[in-house]
Structure 1
């Protein structure tokens, strides 16, 4: 027989008490058949949601749906086979199928596509706090019998509220001293959670469950939090780049507070403490290359200037503000991308230019050295005291490089590389520094030498042979 199949779409927000999967059938079914049963299934995972054979309770049911489903009374008489699903979660976004049987014969089927929408919350790294919102209605006679529990996707307890107070001893260490709920949340219905000092590590799905002493779930809600890391992009060759952070601080004694910038390898980039920069604590790679504004803790401008950035400085930088007890007061991340200039040339060209024009304020150019280097610290070209130092060149580049006349006065530090081949495909670094090895400028150019394309004429193979003549 032809089985009628219907299709419906239903959407619901996570946190709603329930959702209805609708299904009203044709009246003739209930009149003409006496042994009708109804089966609801999760179509994707084939989990049995509810199987009714005329009684008020399901005969069979998978554990995940136990005590969470309900059909209307007198469904056989009315033909309303709709299913109520309580406390829907995002992982229940799926297709559900309802099948109507007469004994073992399928009479009718209905597919319902359910979408459980999770609330999205976005915040920038460095903000003082973020709110995971949830306002609901609760009808609870004795709130002392109810627990509110926020957890993350890994099952770690983020915040627990019970018997009128926060249970901080039950929190995971990751969230200790970082969460807060409104006063008397079960009476007001405002179960929102404040998470302090959010970082990208806090990007997660958070679930709030309200349950009683019998572990019966009364409400359930999910919130997806994304903590965005600020992106800063800069071209190699600029004098400096700013890793920005302006915040508000309420600190009585700034002498008790430390500001520390670190990179992803936990190397100290810059340390400010007791009103001064602690250059002795810096990693050597950042020494003499960083600077903060004056009196940053009073102004709230904790931005960091990084001088002479190259692609090696492409990294994620973290600024942490903490007190003498190592308690974190603020936290911010900035992702820096330093882009090397891209140059392409076809192998066989007479030469290629690695460009760099900059500005200088140099009184005595004789005290300055310009050095182009290739991968492996090979010297490509050296200019010092007004002349090229060809004796310092790597043999691979001898008689193949050239700079413009008087480059330090004109600011044109471009390099011409003659007869490029694919072996010259590298990232080249030009560094300008003084007699004390202090870097004044730095620039990177990535050169790609591409093989020349050769057109090949298609020839039939094997070659066609002439047909023999008839004798």
Structure 2
């Protein structure tokens, strides 16, 4: 039996921006992206995407190689990355034969089991080829001067006309942070607009708000903008067509287009606002269940006013209050009952610039996402940080059977008092093979090789024995099995890993049994936690 020390996993999800300019017709454009080796080597995938499209994926690379199944068709056979990208941190993307339509914002994201680790935005601008002038200009110098004079006159005339009708297209960039309460996408005009025009804001081809003849109508498209987007009451009269977007989310980033068009559909004026929403500061902390205390870190370099409030909440508990500073605000109607007497901050956190929270008497139910928010007396958010706490409770046990036996027991016994409405799920190599629901033992699952060969005893389950009986074991059954206990909300209460080896097949291979079993266990990402054989040796 081996005890694994707890470890601290840092996953700073950050976003950096850079710009690349090339001419159309060049052989390729290189979109730069570089991260630390410890970030890339620990990632399971790196994804380049462009959110303006319904199919945003430009290129995806896994540790095993490229995965282009979900690639946008316009980038087919035009993208490539280094073969050792995730090993070296050199995640740059090569885009061949760049065209003007390729201009836009590209995002490079590293992910670990679906969780974003780092993010880099690259603004690509593909320009049309400059005109190729004749090598000999002296012969046409007089003609050129005359042409310049004519062009200058035309440009002056167009400039005059443009001032009268307003510019056809404006572009502006706005940057915000996810936790900000609202952001303004600006659009003001001094041009006199007809009464019968329509103003429309769109994001990713979804209409957010329309207004016509000073009447504003919010269009609810089921895209998360209900009650979050609004304009002034009379935008056409005031000339302020700005859009207020409230309760910002990461999915809000992208290109917003405001169009003004007449009753015939002709566009009179348009503005493009690119919104970049930075992710909040995120850190992941993982500890073992048997640890007494855990620290949720939040160090800052900011000089905060003395009258600020620091608030820790747990989002997995319906935003339950965990702790509030100053501590005299932790009253009955604030702090959650389950956290009373178990939380602590430094005596002078503002002076020490350490807003970390210590959570004492650690429990399995403490796992979840904790958010620390710092706001002033006016309610304005000054700082915010998210800490994801994972409490590992996995047990690891190795079971070996002699080939030819009629059945084998994958053991899992518990002594904890769990709710009655739990779900017990057994998986083999991440494939679901058996499910026990309270009052419904082994509900129907998709046809598999385990149909009719797995069983849990109803009476034994009531006594805390969640062991799985595997009948007629085969050589292909060798591998890693995971049993997970969840509550009615899907929250994991406990889990265990069992590695099954078939002795007969190992003997024929002539390979050391212990070596093979160690390989089986280490090859599973789930089996890298705690080796705690509390159920005793297995046959």
Instruction: Give the TM-score normalised by the residue count of structure 2.
Output: 0.34
The structure whose residues are more often helix, as a share, is: 2
TM-score w.r.t. the length of structure 1 is 0.38
Query: Which has the larger Rg?
Result: 1
| Larger strand proportion of the pair | 1
